[in-house]
Structure 1
């Protein structure tokens, strides 16, 4: 689902910057126009009915304050973000009273505006979902809440199954849940579609929130339209399972990418800090994972455990120093992360079947 956005600003460079930011960074938004003053902004709004308006305060003819008031009066659901300088802050507060949803102070930081736009997109999606449900006479919020409590109160459990990539268990979960619904006997296919699609939308948000990254997005209206030609419960259940398989694939791909990146960052950190008293817990903290999970993905990706890898890095460096320097073994041991020279010598001999001194003589 695409959402329409309008830029209203009399400064060409500001419009250009906003245009680039929106088109390159926020895929869910479609820029439907640009206005150089509030009067033009009102006219474009009447023609295009944008979902979101970025509105400057100080403009010729009709300023942003007046334009905000008129647009909100005409289209109360429009989300208007005020852009203002610090010394115009009183105007921004007045615009909020008129119905603007937020304000940005110049110079506008890109990450700030992207964050606000993404929040508004989520808000618009929720409002449209609610209105869509209200448009069906058999659908009300109380029934929706009851449905989710009764049949899908284990959403986190399904999320775990999806994350684990367990297709069969996901299908079994769906079969069990739908079997309960069919036994009740008071859900038509149309009503069932609406409830399940609402659940899919909720599940996609849960996945993104739990993973703390965007993995998948389901939109109610798109799914409802896609499922419109499914005329039997069996067709719909098959479609639902296929949708969940899509999610499983996206989750697997996302976590593989995350794990690969985590291991790369972990190995880089080890290479830079092997000379210190390094622990798995310290590296895990650096890459924002718990130590047991890092240990698992590290071994899976590297083919060896954390300790073995750290030892390998340290001993490689020790070999280099023994070959290319005249420093004594104790100094070298300290330089590669071993405080105890005797222990260093034991580890070295176990690996190369030579003491550090013997290795030096052999390679000089």
Structure 2
């Protein structure tokens, strides 16, 4: 639901706008009505409307002044200005104040509906842009985490240390990593370490213990257990089988 505030000092105008909105929109909640500019600011500060229908000529504070004040604490509000014919040029000067449309009083129902639809479209567009920016940020954070893992897999890193590096709560990072990478942090780190271990087993004459330390496992016995889980054979058997395949070739 989109929150809408009507700021209009004429009772009949407010009632007419209410009737039109309730007839044509089921996704708008008219949160409150303001009878003057000061009330409009107070209500907007308290309830943070998504859309405002604002008359220019109001007591206490006119619509343009009220809009300027509201924008200081509610930057994204979409405002539809109601203006009399002789105020129209003055109203156009407010185009930089997040005013989405100007309606000449008395506004037709079709004009009000069109203006509100325009405001909703603008809100949805901004929401989509924000969503794309969040997704981009998420991908950037994941890439940072993966780069960090690849640079430090041989050290004693864990979920907490990587989460700290990307400034995320460990529990959130754990869920976030799995959702974006498709496997848990431990699975990813283990697969990377085993991949590096296989390269060392194939290309060097280093002992199992040496390789275990080089890929981040302090306990060679635990390294062998993890290796066997992923490869189906022990590191030593993998090394022997690899040498046999070379000799046969």
TM-score, reference length from structure 2: 0.62
Shift of 1:148: 2.4
1:247 corresponds in structure 2 to: 126
- Give the Cα separation in 2 of the matches to 1:224 and 1:356: 66
Task: Work out which of the residue numbers 274, 287, 292 in structure 1 matches 2:153.
Answer: 274
- Give the Cα separation in 1 of the matches to 2:150 and 2:98: 52
Shift of 1:251: 1.0
Q: Any idea what the Cα deviations from partners look like across 1:149-177, whole Å, max 9, x if unmatched?
A: 4432xx8xxxxxxxxxxxxxxxxxx6xx9
Contact 1:189 1:233 in 2 (8 A): no
After TM superposition, the structure 1 = structure 2 runs for residues 1-364 of structure 1, keeping only pairs within 5 Å, are 138-140=36-38, 143-152=39-48, 189-190=55-56, 202-204=73-75, 221-229=95-103, 231=107, 232-364=111-243
- Give the Cα separation in 2 of the matches to 1:249 and 1:300: 21
Which one has the largest radius of gyration?
2
SS across alignment from 1:363: helix
Cα distance 1:324–1:188, how it changes in 2: closer, same or farther (>3 A)?
closer
SS across alignment from 1:227: strand
CA RMSD of aligned residues (A): 3.2
1:213 corresponds in structure 2 to: none
Shift of 1:261: 0.9
Cα distance 1:243–1:223, how it changes in 2: closer, same or farther (>3 A)?
farther
- Give the Cα separation in 2 of the matches to 1:149 and 1:233: 24
Contact 2:100 2:115 in 1 (8 A): no
Cα distance 1:236–1:301, how it changes in 2: closer, same or farther (>3 A)?
same
- Give the Cα separation in 1 of the matches to 2:47 and 2:182: 42
- Give the Cα separation in 2 of the matches to 1:246 and 1:199: 21
Q: 1 or 2 for the larger relative contact order (CA 8 Å, sep ≥6)?
A: 2
Contact 1:329 1:357 in 2 (8 A): yes
Shift of 1:233: 4.1
- Give the Cα separation in 1 of the matches to 2:228 and 2:67: 63
SS across alignment from 2:102: coil
Cα distance 1:326–1:224, how it changes in 2: closer, same or farther (>3 A)?
closer
1:78 corresponds in structure 2 to: none
TM-score, reference length from structure 1: 0.44
Contact 1:193 1:224 in 2 (8 A): no
| Structure whose residues are more often strand by fraction | 2
Shift of 1:247: 1.6
Contact 2:41 2:69 in 1 (8 A): no
- Give the Cα separation in 2 of the matches to 1:259 and 1:148: 32
Contact 2:100 2:119 in 1 (8 A): no
